[in-house]
Structure 1
């Protein structure tokens, strides 16, 4: 099935440029100038990737990104003229998967979209969508954690990438370098801080004691170990 890319940007020329480049690359696109129409469309059908500008006329773009991360399984790529490190860090902390600074080459956006889709596409080793561990069930088709009592806790696409990385390599050390290679993005302060936030949120959702987590253990100076037996369905 052809991947669907949603474009939210209030500049008509950028929407046209992105839509043209993505269509030429074989993707299906839909374009929106305002957050209200974009969010209304998402209630009807979820895209595979959302390209979101932060400078919107009717809504704070970061608020849109945060809501998308909580409620949608789509990958989120921010496209913005805000080039400060703090802006990139904030966007990633709120759940974005990638951040592209304007001006950009359309080919770069196409490449980033393809990279996100490759990471999200199931291969034989990643065909399972449900994992059970330590009284929890993680449903990656619905982006929901369910505890032993049946209580459901949603997680974002970005948090799901980190969780799946842990669940596919339980009881093994995963270094920051391995995380960066597996999840993509430029190494550096913004990536490290985004990972810290995502891991902190996963710990909270799993009911972990932040001072002494039992599942996601930090090995200082080395990386992380996920301490649990994992069964995939």
Structure 2
């Protein structure tokens, strides 16, 4: 495909258009992200004994939301927020129908432009935990971490993942039925730049930085054919932050 067959549209419109196929189009980064989430977050939640309030910031199609509902202690509240109506509709539909002792509240808002609405949605008390996966690419770092710091209680923690800088100029995107490649608005953030921005907002590293990629041809079998071009590259970075004064 030539460059003329690639278009960039506003991010929320981009995710509205991608929502129906987001979970099924074989995206390697999403698969790595889901694997990291499955390996790391259960260890963090296993120590929880009492109900908590958790913000799933940029919940997308609910890849993590339904899993989180199953991990949290009874009596917890899970706030799932996304600015794409299409993605949020997929998330609602994917939530298991069986009753749960964890309350899920859905928020349709773009936190990068509607901080006041986010504050009203979660209430005056800060949350205990923030989960935000594969959102970093679409936000300015200072703004993103300021939102997390304002929302998260002192002593709370945040699990944040994003596209690894090793991916270079690559951006989130999908191909339409007519062959056109569609992208949203994206930014390339360096790893050190990300950590510094978080620190400036009042967040500190609370563990090692997780970096994942396509290690070898054996990994391709697990991740799918689209992983072939990424052998030897790191694609995902995951960082655990703690909220300090």
Tell me which interval the TM-score lies in, with the shorter structure as reference length: 0.3 to 0.5
* TM-score normalized by the length of structure 2: 0.34
